[in-house]
Structure 1
Amino acid sequence: MTSWPKIWRKHKPELKLEPSVQQDRYLLVQEIRKAHLEWEIAQKRFDYVIEKEQIDYSIFALEAAEKRFEMLLKQAKDMKISAGEVAASRTMEGSS
């Protein structure tokens, strides 16, 4: 006879990935976090520029950072990596 808790429990099957795929996902998440940080830095740099040459460079750097971040997010979407996975990696790294 099956007990009631076993009947009521619903298990979500875990996604089993090959080690190489897991490594690729992990590396992409790390690159996304790095690209986001670079984008934030470029935004802050733009806030503090004064001279015309600095403005031009800051705009270029900000646009490049945005494009890289968008490209990585598209790759993550194609690999079905959720925002939760990226946030979880951030939480796990912050607790170490």
Structure 2
Amino acid sequence: MRAVVFAAPATPVEVVDVGHADPRTGEARVHLTAAGVCHSEAHPVRGDGEVPTPLGSGPGGSGVVTAVGPAALAFAVGCAAGGSGICP
């Protein structure tokens, strides 16, 4: 799995390979086919304020469910899914 990661202010973001765990109770893994980067993510890159790092970029993603954890009743493998949020 790849992610766009912000590591420190005033440094370029990087596309890196990251591992992933199996979904936990109530969770689903989604293979993203599209993701957006919002303007608020420019602030930590410029050093405006403090955020925990590394920071995974790209809130507003959508894709296809590839795995589900126990009790993930709202998800099924193969279904379309989307969400939003910034991932530390």
The TM-score range, normalised by the shorter chain, is under 0.3
Decide which structure has the larger Cα Rg and report it. 1
**What is the TM-score with the length of structure 2 in the denominator?**
0.21
Higher share of residues assigned strand = 2
Higher share of residues assigned helix = 1
